[in-house]
Amino acid sequence: MVKHSIHKVALDYFIEHQEELCERYNGKELLMREASVVGAFDTLHDAMEEGRKLFGSGNFTVQKCIPGEEAYTVDLPLALLWA
């Protein structure tokens, strides 16, 4: 059995449910624990603090809830790919 990271599970859940999540939480920072939304916050700082308090560092995911691929993709300069 393949063990998936909690962050991959959260991202997959976000992508699959992005449209409905954006209808409810657009612009918020989502505190996620695997495939569930634990809370929605106005700032990244608030979401991170609550996540650390509830689960400890590294045991949760914070996802910006915005529509489109920009929510979950990163454009890296080519120079970084060769570093």
- DSSP run (H or E) holding 55: helix 44-55
Amino acid identity at 55:
F
Residue 41 is predicted with a pLDDT of 98
Is-contact 33 55, C-beta < 8 A?
A: yes
Query: Cα 59 from chain centroid?
Result: 12
Q: What pTM does this model have?
A: 0.84
pLDDT digits (tens, 9 = 90+) for 57-75: 999 999 999 999 999 886 6
Residue 24 is predicted with a pLDDT of 98
Is-contact 65 21, C-beta < 8 A?
A: yes
Please, which residues bridge with residue 30 across strands?
A: 40, 63
Q: What is the mean pLDDT of residues 38-64?
A: 97
- The domain spans of the chain are 6-82
Is-contact 66 29, C-beta < 8 A?
A: no
Please determine, for residue 82, whether its predicted confidence score (pLDDT) is greater than 90: no
DSSP letter, residue 34: S
